[in-house]
Amino acid sequence: MSAAIEAPERAIWLAAARDLRLGFRSRAELIQALVFLVLVVSLFPLAIGPESAILKRVAAGVVWVAALLSVLLTLPRLFSADHADGTLEQLVLSPYPLPLIAAGKILAHWLMAGLPLSVIAPLLGLQFGLAGEELVVLTVSLMLGTPILSMIGAIGAALTLGVRGGSILMALLVLPLYIPVLIFGAGAVEQVMASIDYSANLSLLGAGLLFGALASPFAVATALRISLD
């Protein structure tokens, strides 16, 4: 009985640990996404000017859009390397359920891409004059929202696997689905600045995270099987 309970957890953690090891071997790609985020966010105050009211007004949207695009940059390699060397076929044929393997790969992607962005984003928010509760809500919204970006992105990456021009097609597929996450995440910070209750936005992000955690592994597994057929 205990072995049956441990097996699913083992599938998730083995897949996540493997992708983390491979990811840290190519740290340049991880650094690239962080550098992109820092550069994009840092250029906005220079372009907009020193007016503090305007900077605070656009802060949440700028940070969220930059984080979204940074995550998008890392998605094409989520399955492509495994597909190129034949590992993906072996994962599909492994004794572990494919949805759990997909869950592990999504978890690893968020740990390498979404989590670092969420950690440094508050520091970038200081450039726009955000402080106190605004920075806290920005961090919480990113912590809740970036896993959803990884989940949706993984579905898009799986559907476009092996397709010519797959990166562009994937972006066209996932960007419309990213819009609600962007609205709720940036909206929570704007509501703090307007002294309005922001709990509804964070609750919606939390609900999306729970739904995605349950549904996305199965959607990714189905998409992978379709792409490999």
Query: Tens digits of per-residue pLDDT, 14-32?
Result: 888 888 888 877 777 778 8
Predicted local confidence at residue 216, as pLDDT: 93
CA distance 23 to 46: 33
pTM of the complete model:
0.89
CA distances from 191 to 14, 83, 177, 185, 187 (A): 40, 44, 22, 10, 6
The DSSP letter of residue 194 is T
Q: What is the mean pLDDT of the chain?
A: 86
pLDDT digits (tens, 9 = 90+) for 116-146: 888 988 888 888 888 888 999 999 999 999 9
The more confidently predicted of residues 5 and 61 is 61
CB 91 within 8 A of CB 101: yes
162 pLDDT more than 80: no
- Tens digit of each residue's pLDDT (9 = 90 or more) over 163-212: 777 788 888 889 999 999 999 999 999 999 888 888 999 999 999 999 99
Is it the case that residue 215 has pLDDT exceeding 90?
A: yes
What b-and-e string marks burial along 90-107, b requiring 16 or more CB atoms within 10 Å of the CB?
ebeeeebbbbbbbbbbbb
